[in-house]
Amino acid sequence: MDNLILYPTINNVNEIIRFFDTIFSMSFRENLKDELEYTGMLVKELAAASGVSKKTLDKYLLTSRCCMPPADKAAAIARVLGVSVEYLVTGKKTRREKVFQEFLSPELRVIADLVEPLSREERKITVEVVTGLVKLLQNQKQVEPAVAALTPLQRVFLQLFSK
């Protein structure tokens, strides 16, 4: 008898809708909180990027019995966070999201989301630019220790002859 689970009695359609709305909104609220924490994004940043007002986002995040957002708002929020609407509503991740979360850091997820809508040619250009930046940073890391080992007089000569 201890293992018996009692479900609330639901008498009409409106109660059924409220019951499922409560379940899904709790899930939506928790998943939204988790994604904001995972990405390190602030609510005001999500509001600016998604077009959903901060007041509305706060309502989704802070109100325990809040309704589900309309599809357009849920889609905008999901797009900015790099997840599916299905994940925000149910917590179930698509195969792509599982790969993204498992293998990409939040920073790389942001870059992937920015590059995804670009054309093939724009992506190639972006890869070339990022590759150049990475090489520049790597070279800088190699040069800085060598410069740091120079005497003050050697640094003066280096500055004079590098111009």
Q: How far is CA 59 from CA 22, 54, 56, 67, 146, in A?
A: 14, 8, 5, 9, 55
Task: Please name the residue that has the structure tokens 């929020």.
Answer: 77
Q: How many domains does the chain have?
A: 2
Confirm whether pTM is higher than 0.75: no
The reply to whether 122 and 100 lie within a common domain is no
CATH number at residue 77: 1.10.260.40
Do 37 and 46 contact (CB within 8 A), yes or no?
A: no
The reply to whether 100 and 127 lie within a common domain is no
pLDDT value, residue 149: 72
Contacts of residue 74, Cβ cutoff 8 Å, sequence gap at least 6: 28, 68, 85, 88, 89
pLDDT value, residue 53: 94
Range of the domain at 86: 1-109
The reply to whether 102 and 128 lie within a common domain is no
pLDDT value, residue 52: 94
Do 27 and 90 contact (CB within 8 A), yes or no?
A: yes
Q: Which residues of the chain have pLDDT under 70?
A: 1-26, 64-67, 93-102, 146-147, 154-155, 157-163
The reply to whether 95 and 124 lie within a common domain is no
The reply to whether 55 and 24 lie within a common domain is yes
Token readout for 81 is 């966070």
